[in-house]
Amino acid sequence: MSGVLLLSIQALIYFGVMTALLAARKSYGVGLFVCALGVMHFLETYLAAVFFIELPFGLLSPGSTVLFSGKLMMFLLLYIREDAEVVRQPIYGLLIGNILLVVLALVLRFQTAVKMPGYAPDLAFLDQIGILMVWGTLLLFVDCIALIMLYERMARLLKRNVLASAFVASAVVLTFDQLMFYPVLNWVTGTPFSALLGGWVAKMGAAAVYSALVALYLSFGEPAPSKRRSLADIFQALTYRNRYEDLLARSLVDEVTGVKNRAAFEQTCREWLERKSPDGRPITVAMADVDRFKAINDQYGHAAGDAVLRAVGLTLARHVRDGDTVFRYGGEEFAILLRGLDHPEALEIADRLRVAVATEVQPLDGRPVTVSVGVASSAYGAGDLRGLLDKADKRLYDAKRLGRNRVVGETAPA
């Protein structure tokens, strides 16, 4: 039986079993599919290192041609049927698992093995496989992300033609993988150069076969859902960048009030100072302080105090313009950053915020909740927001001294 026919049979068996597990995820979960991918990883690496066949165009390994190329296409198919958040889990899991394999193999060096009759552990071979598995997994990590990104790019250019998009993307990625994997394979096992060309030709054939199978599966099995996410969004999801940005965003939000916190204000101050040049727009910092807040805490308790702060923060955020920002600066103080207003306009906005708090925040036993506000403005977009904050803070204390529930600004722009 010819080598090409055997490779084709292996590819059909592999694709059939893996897509059956993929389809079964609706009943049994995606774990069956992911575990099968992980188990096959050792076999494909082992075969890629030691098992080759010869065809007219050169040497090739079924492990690399059928199993590795197939695994890459399975990741693409999982992405197409699910999303980037699902497919990234086995990608990172394989990477971590294979690094763990090498670490544990190194620890074995410190143990004394009992010699068994007729068999001795080949730790040198384990080292070779470990090197190839880790390098192969690192390449797989890059390959999967590149394949998905290239597929999405080609799908946009080729009007969602699955067959053409999958083939172009997989051909490019498998070419890259062959060029990157062969030098390490040659260094570890001494594999001859003919395996580089033979393996590449075989992988191009695998790209064509698997792309056709993927297109058939999506046509007659599970249709490909339409995806409208941007390429940047997909890349961020695949690399967990979105998780980092979500975590960063949450870290800059005050838990009690739901507005930005002091850390966010400090970050804004740094960004403002690092600007190459002022933007020319006026900038205003307003400091709002809840009047007699200590008495609220003392009389009604801290839970009621937190509820008042939350209501005040949300009211301020609801009534600022788009592009303006409310921060909880500390305690019962809020800093409000207003852009593009001259000083009289900023005072009008600040007074509107004061009135909104007095009328919309629920009174406590008939006594309205009010704020005092100090305002400081810069006519040319000054870089030092902390300087404006200090001036606004002084005007805030003037408002307190003059009877509270009022707005006091600089007599002239800062």
Burial class (CB within 10 angstroms; exposed 0-12, middle 13-18, buried 19+) of 119:
exposed
Q: Contact at 8 Å (CB) between 165 and 158? A: yes
DSSP state at residue 315? H
Contacts 24+ apart (CB under 8 A), 378-381: 378/282, 378/283, 378/284, 378/413, 378/414, 379/282, 379/342, 379/343, 379/413, 380/278, 380/280, 380/282, 381/278, 381/279, 381/280, 381/281, 381/282, 381/283
The tokens for 396 are: 């805030």
Nearest to 156, CA basis, from 227, 107, 224, 208: 227
Q: Is 274 a catalytic residue?
A: no
The tokens for 227 are: 């995806």
Q: Exactly one of 332, 333, 345, 348 is catalytic; which is it? A: 332
Kindly list the catalytic residues.
332
